[in-house]
Amino acid sequence: SAVISQKPSRDICQRGTSLTIQCQVDSQVTMMFWYRQQPGQSLTLIATANQGSEATYESGFVIDKFPISRPNLTFSTLTVSNMSPEDSSIYLCSVEEGGKSWRRTFGSGTRLTVV
């Protein structure tokens, strides 16, 4: 299965600043996904990022707040913009090899704390 390297693993940021999270995959994948895992909550899909097209955002998430780049088939970034303490969460990237949900792999996550 694909191996995902996600950076940073954790960060503490000041409110009002932005953080860019990187997701590197060791193989080419069409679909990459960004999730948020708030404390004590389940994973919530933020957006789907396909190479060469605009990311598709889920309800409640907007591009201005969570801009996503997908420059090639092995890399994506998620930026958390103008952060507030409510953005403190774990952010995870995920890929599906061959578009198959049973070949879904997750990165180890970025634990973000906004102070």
Nearer to another protein, 17 or 108 (CB): 108
Residues that bind another protein (CB under 8 A): 4, 6, 9, 40-45, 48, 92, 94, 101-102, 104-109, 111
What pairing do the DSSP bridges indicate for beta strands 68-72 and 56-57? unpaired
What pairing do the DSSP bridges indicate for beta strands 110-114 and 10-13? parallel
**Residue 52 CB, nearest distance to another protein (Å)?**
20
Q: Which long-range contacts (CB under 8 A, 24 or more apart) does 98-104 make?
A: 99/30, 99/31, 103/1, 103/2
**Residue 10 CB, nearest distance to another protein (Å)?**
9
**Residue 101 CB, nearest distance to another protein (Å)?**
6
